[in-house]
Every structure is written in structure tokens, then in C-alpha cells.
Chain A
């Protein structure tokens, strides 16, 4: 038994643990214990990884394990992590952990909710530890389908529409993806002539350029749908707005990262020649995502819609930076994934808590919350500042790295695009500050809202945990950026 498989085995054990649960307390107990173990494992993995690297182990992937699963098709169950996966696993563990606390009082069918949430977690962890494309697709789709029921059953608003739209668009993306993955599998000429699903072996193999030109767009769009790339981003605002709190957190915080991670791992790393040839098309699209998402957020009045569009903008920045194809920008992209994951989760958690009290998310109906719930309001300000890139918080570090990396491109095209993308920072400031000013400050006019209370202990755990992470990354960015940039061989 290898260490990495524990990340999948423990959620499976959790699923079994949910079956005999009779009441909500037992369900919570299983969920909290499982999520805590996962978080502990993720932190342990981080230190084990750093330790290995300090000892001078420079292999691409560490802690590898490889089991032959389907000999006829050369499908393996193969796991391994590099710096990027370690960071992503840590992010997932943090968000799952806080998500459990954010959905403390979920009703009805509490047990079912946590079962689906755990299934989602299995998919996410499995995806990040896999280095075999078959298991990657397997875990990718495992992570997608629970979303349907999570949003459809526990969501709010036009949840059925959103759930179906989200599921179908993402599965449509995964249809492109399967085509691309199979194409890569069958066109990669490895040294010994065998066909392989293992991404390390394919990275060494030579894929003919005419096939690369076909499969790069397929895989990039396939993952790009999940990364909310324009024009395939439309599932994201509806989905996020309708989802229950923990699901929004997990979805914006972790699931959308699957898209960016997959784009990097499969589309860009396995098809590098096509990536550099065709990057300009997708740079334009992701550039549109960045600016359009920010403008979209200005116009919205629903708190969740604002954050969903802001996610489109920030996740667009991730893909944008990956396509710049240089080390600094890519490091920035991964940091942006981490930072966006944490702060969006924080945002959605806070919005969920405010909504749980006021029963409205419309900014026109909310004002003066600072006096009524000071803890939540202060945290909301912090999240907002992180989102608009205040130095000292995570958003600044990531965006700075991205724009420095992007602008270091010598040619005009990339530089102009970088400048355009930079303008999103200003627009972000507009919508964030507008919301903060509108809902937190001023005098509360709604008498009902005056009676509301501030956060309770389990909400505080979720929020403080996330804020601490956002601050640590903002204060000590080199910890993270060293791990990440050490793993990018570009």
C-alpha cells in the first residue's frame, strides 16, 4: 500500500462509515473525522515532499506507485505527485475540511449530502494524484456527477436548470477530453513502441505534429470548460449561484482547478509544440474571460453571481497565464489557482452564512451588516481585499507573478494582451468595493436584520481557517512558489 492511495481510500472508508449512521450527529462526526484525517495527510504529504526534495531527490514525480490494471490496454493505476499536485491536494483538503463545517446544518437528507460530497472529494483527490490518463478521466468524471444531485437537491433558486446545465456542459467537455486522451494514447510513439496512458512516458514520446494540432484544442477545450473558459463559462454563474454553500466552495475552490491542472498536465505538457503554435487562439479566448468576467460581475446584484463572474475572471487568468508558456507565468498560474481556491471558498462560505441569516443575497436588500454581524463583515472585507489583490494577501502575489511573467514575453501580441488582462484588476476593485460599501456599511434599514446574530463556533472554524491560509500565502509567498516553480520544467 502506497501513501498516496490513502487519499482515495479514506474517503471510500468514509462512504462506508456513513451507511450505518442513524442521526445527524453521527454523520457530522464521520465527516469531520474523515476530513481532518485528509487534512493531516495533506500536510504530512507537504512536509514529506519538502523533505525528499531537500535530500536531493529530483525525480519528476515522487512517491510513485504503479499497479497494472488492464494489461490488454496497458492501463495502470499509477500515482505520483510533484510540487503542483502537492499544493493542489493541500488546497482540496483545506476546502473539504472547511466545507464540512460550512454545511454543518444542511437539511434535509444530511447523510446523503455528505455521501455525495465525499464522492466528489474522491474524484478530486484521485485526479490530483493520478499520473495515468485513464484514471484521470475516471476520477474527473467521478467528481463531476455528484454536482448534479448536490445542486439539484440542496440548491436554491432555479436549481434544476442550473444543475442540468452544469452537468451537461462539463460532461460535454469531458467528451472532448476522452477523444483527446484516446488520440494522444494512440498517436504517441514511445521509445519501445508500446502504447501508454502514463503521462510521464507520453511526455517523453514523440507525437506527430499533425495529430498534436488536432488533440491540443480537444483536450484544452475539454478541461477549459471546467476552467470556465469563454465561451464555455456559462454553466459557472448559474451553477455557483444555485449550489448550496459547501458545494459552491468546493466547486469554485477545487473543481475548477481540475480544469486548470488538467490543461497544464495533459494539454500543455503532453502536446508542447501544438501548445506554442496554437496558444494565441486560446490566449484571446481566455483574455476575453478575464475582462468579460470582471465586467459581468459589475452588473450583477446577487452576491453569488458576483462571485461566480469574478471566478470566471480569475480562473480565466489561470488559463491565460498557463498559455503564456514561461516559467514565471506558469508559477503564477498555479499560485493563482491556490489563491483563488482559498479566497473564493472564503467568499462563498461567508455569502452562505449571510444568506442563512438574512435569506436574501440581493445587494439591494442588504445594508449596514457591519454593526449586526461584525465578525462576518470583517472577514468579508478581508476576502474582498484578497480578491482585488491587496499586497499581503494571496491574490496580490499570484497576480503579480502572472503579469510579470506574461509581460516578459518579448513580442507585442503577448504584451498587449497582458495589459488588457491587467485592466481586470481595476474592474475587480470596482465591484468588490461597491459590494463592500453597499452591504456592510451605512445604516441597516431592514428591521428584521437588526435581530440577527453573528457567526457561531463552527462557522468561525471554517472562516478563520481559510483566512489564515490566504494570509500565509500573502506573507510568505516563496514557500509556495518554490515548491511550484521547482516542478515546472519549461
Chain B
């Protein structure tokens, strides 16, 4: 038996190892040992994340079904960092009475969905991809409904599973059309079969993309987002809005560049409109939100628009900018969610109006949240400025100035609502602000990671250079 196939899947194997260790630990440990469970999970995951950067092996296995190139490894590493941050932030939520007894399940479910995302990223065959996609979406529904005693959470779970299944079905239908057209499910073979657009191919393309757009919650496929994000436990929301999105964007890129590269003109037009609407609608709806999680939901819809903006160009520059944007978005968005989570766990408050005057009582948290908002809004010297600028550069390179102009105007609108949060923290007067509370050490470490990211990713040009050098275009 040739084991080298599996050697290539080192990251997947290592993830499964962590998964198994945690299961065994969770099942067979006594109450005293369980106190160390969170610490062990975070440390194991940290080791896994570090190992992801070391000794990368590239190549393909299983007759080209599974590919692990530099860019795939990089994307997985970005997701790993995000998951590490989420694990750290989930400490005080999982310590609560209602969730403490199923603390293990949270890790299991997150890890198994992440495994699915790994497969989505590396798959070069639609069967494997679909397995990955399902593994990455169904357990998430369980995660969304994790706080099942809360009405919201259960409702969100139901909504999520309906949309997830529905979008999978749409995508599957597109895949079947594609298979009928090309007679193969390998990405490379499909790409060579597609030479000129036919009606059936365009139909297949539309269905496949629609399925992914649901996952990415691009407008007009975004209607589930706000409710699910609001209802889900905050840690799960942060997982959904960053990690799931990152994996789906990568899959979208591979589809567009590697499978439908010859249909560039067709999907380019579709994406042009989708991006313009997504960025605008996400922004306009975010302005009116008071619930911070709903606010971040709409803000993340608009952010996804910027990520896809870089994809639609179809160049290696665009792909590099997109992955870089995901990296920056992961650290900034998780910083924002982390603060929301810390406040929610300490006081149960989640509305932006509750944050009024937070700077007086909790200055450190306010500064983290402010920097996260600046980074999401693209204000220098945070990393958000660099990531936005590189996306715009990639778009301008192809002289798509009209779409660029729409995107730029939207940065101003987005700045307005990000500044509303900053205003709540620093300027708005409040007679009874949230009282001073202590944040646990896990969350503090996660904030430190996020802040290091927000400040260093932009200035350390090495990161962008590396991502740019390994990315590919059509």
C-alpha cells in the first residue's frame, strides 16, 4: 500500500489526530482533569497551527483528486489561525453552566467542519468537494443551535440547516448538469472540455455558483445571514463569518479559475453585478442595526463583497489580494467578535447602544474594538488599509474603474457605521455604562494575536509578497 498519498494530507491527518485526542480526553477524564481540557485543546491546536507552517509538502494524490499546493497550505494556515483565536475566545462561554457539560462537543464540531473545509480547499474533483462541503455545513447547524435552551439559537439552527441543504441541492443540480455536459467530475478535465459557452454550461455555471453564493451570503442570497448570526452563540457566529467564508471564497476561486476559466466573460458579468449589489446592500443595511451581531453580519456581507471583488478580476494579483484580504479580515473581524463575546459573557449585553461610554469603564476592550473597526473600515495604519488598497490595485490593473468607484464610495458608507461604533465607545455619554469587568486570560491572548495581526500584517510586506508569489490566475 502506498502511503505517500496520505503523507500529502499531513494537515488533515494532524487535525484528525487532535480530534481523536480530544474525544478520548473528553470521554475518559474525570472532573478534575477536565479543568485542563480547554488548555489542552488550545495548546494542541496551537501546535497543529505551527506545524502547518513548517515543512510544507506540495503535490497531488488520489489521481489528482486531492491537491496540496503552496496556496492551499497558506489558506489552511490562515483558517487555523482563525480557529485558534476562536478557541481562545470561547473559554468563558464554554465555562458557563449550560454549556460546560458539552464543552467537548464544541471542539469536535468545529474541528470536523474545519476538516470539511480542508477538503473543500484541496479538492480537485467535485465528489470530494461535495463531501467536504457537506461536512463543513451540516455540523455547523448543530453549532448554531448549540445554546438550544435559547429560543433564538434553535430557530437560527433550523434556518441554517434549511438554507444549507437548499443551497447544496442547487449546487448539486448544477454539478449534475455539468457532469451531463462534460462526462467527468475532475476539475482539470472539465476545464479542458469546456471550450465555448453553451446554454447548458451557462446554466450549470449559474447553479454551481449560486450554491456557493449562498455559503458566502452574497446578495441576493444573504437573507439567512442576519438571523442566523444573531441567533447563534457569538463564538459560532465568528466562526461562520470568518472561517466558513474564507474556505468558501477559496473554493469559489478554484472553481472560477480552474474549472470555468474559459467562461470568464460569462461569470465576469454575473460577478460584476453581484459584487456591486453585495457591497452596497450590506452597507446600507448595516447602518440601521443596533444589535452588534446583526451589525457585524451585514458588515461581513459587505466585506465578502470586497473579497470577491478581488476574485472577479481573474488574475494572480487578484487572487493574492483576495487571500491577503481574508487574512486581514479574519484577524480584524475576530477581534471585533471577541470583544462582543467578552461583553456578552460578562453582562449579557449585545446592543451597540449598550456600549455607550465603554471607554470609561473598560478602556482596553474599547481600544481593541476601535482598532478592529478601523481595520474593517480600511483606515491606516491598520492592516485593513493595505488589504483594501491591494484589492483596489488589482481591480484598477484591469481598468475596471466603474466597479472600483462603487467599491470606493462604499468604503465611505462603511466608515460611517464603523465610526458609529467608535462613537458609542468613546463619545456617547451614558449614565450607567457597562461596569468594569475582568477578561479571562484566554481572551486576552486572542486579542494580543489579533492586534499583532492588525498592526503587523500591513507593514510586513513579506506576507503579501509571499501570498502573491504563490497565487495563480486563469
- Chain A positions within 8 Å of B, measured between CB atoms, are 69-73, 75, 134, 137-139, 141-142, 145, 148-149, 152-153, 159-160, 163-164, 167-168, 171-172, 175-176, 178-179, 182-183, 185-186, 214
Contacts and interface: CB of A to CB of B under 8 A. Distances in A.
Chief secondary structure at chain A's binding surface: helix
Nearest to B415: A171
Given A138-B381, A148-B419, A160-B427, 9 more contacts: A73-B390, A145-B374, A152-B427, A168-B412, A168-B416, A179-B401, A186-B396, A186-B397, A214-B401
Contact of A160 (B396, B409, B412, B423): B423
A366 to B, nearest CB: 29
Contacts, number: 81
B464 A183 contact: no
Contacts of A182: 392-393, 396, 404
A145 B379 contact: yes
Contacts of A73: 390, 393
B225 interface: no
B364 interface: no
A173 to B, nearest CB: 9
Contacts of A164: 416, 419, 423
B381 A142 contact: yes
Most central of B393, B399, B412 by chain A CB within 10 Å: B393
A142 B374 CA distance: 11
Nearest to A175: B408
B25 interface: no
A171 B396 contact: no
B46 interface: no
Given A138-B380, A152-B427, A178 B390 contact: no
Interface of B: 317, 320, 374, 379-381, 385, 389-390, 392-393, 396-397, 399, 401, 404-405, 408-409, 411-412, 415-416, 419, 422-423, 426-427, 461, 464-465, 468-469
A167 B427 CA distance: 15
A172 B411 CA distance: 8
A149 B415 contact: no
Contact of A71 (B317, B423, B465): B465
A89 to B, nearest CB: 20
Contacts of B390: 73
B423 A69 contact: no
Given A153-B427, A186-B397, A175 B461 contact: no
A11 B448 CA distance: 24
A447 B347 CA distance: 51
A429 B423 CA distance: 40
A16 to B, nearest CB: 13
Of listed A70, A75, A186, residue having the most chain B CB within 10 A:
A70
Nearest to B379: A145
29 contacts: A69-B461, A70-B461, A70-B464, A72-B320, A72-B464, A73-B393, A137-B389, A139-B380, A142-B380, A148-B419, A148-B422, A152-B423, A159-B427, A160-B427, A164-B416, A167-B419, A168-B416, A171-B411, A172-B409, A175-B408, A175-B409, A179-B401, A179-B404, A179-B405, A179-B408, A185-B396, A186-B396, A186-B397, A186-B399
Contact of B412 (A69, A139, A172, A185): A172
> A-B pairs with the 10 shortest C-beta distances?
A182-B396, A175-B408, A152-B427, A72-B468, A70-B461, A172-B412, A142-B380, A138-B380, A145-B379, A141-B380
B411 A175 contact: yes
Given A138-B380, A142-B380, A183 B416 contact: no
Contacts of B468: 72
A188 B468 CA distance: 23
A40 B399 CA distance: 45
Contacts of A179: 396, 401, 404-405, 408
A186 B317 CA distance: 14
Contact of A183 (B381, B396, B419, B461): B396
A171 B320 CA distance: 26
B404 A171 contact: no
B393 A167 contact: no
Contact of A141 (B379, B419, B464, B465): B379
B425 to A, nearest CB: 10
A111 to B, nearest CB: 11
A183 B389 contact: no
Contacts of B464: 70, 72
Contacts of B427: 149, 152-153, 159-160, 163
A376 B136 CA distance: 71
A75 B389 CA distance: 12
Given A70-B464, A138-B380, A152-B423, A178 B416 contact: no
Given A178-B389, A182-B393, A72 B423 contact: no
Nearest to A72: B468
A178 B408 contact: yes
A149 B426 contact: yes
A441 B411 CA distance: 50
Contacts of A152: 423, 426-427
B469 A72 contact: yes
Contacts of A185: 393, 396
A482 to B, nearest CB: 35
Contacts of A70: 461, 464-465
Contacts of A145: 374, 379-380
Contact of A149 (B392, B422, B465): B422
Contact of B415 (A75, A167, A178, A183): A167
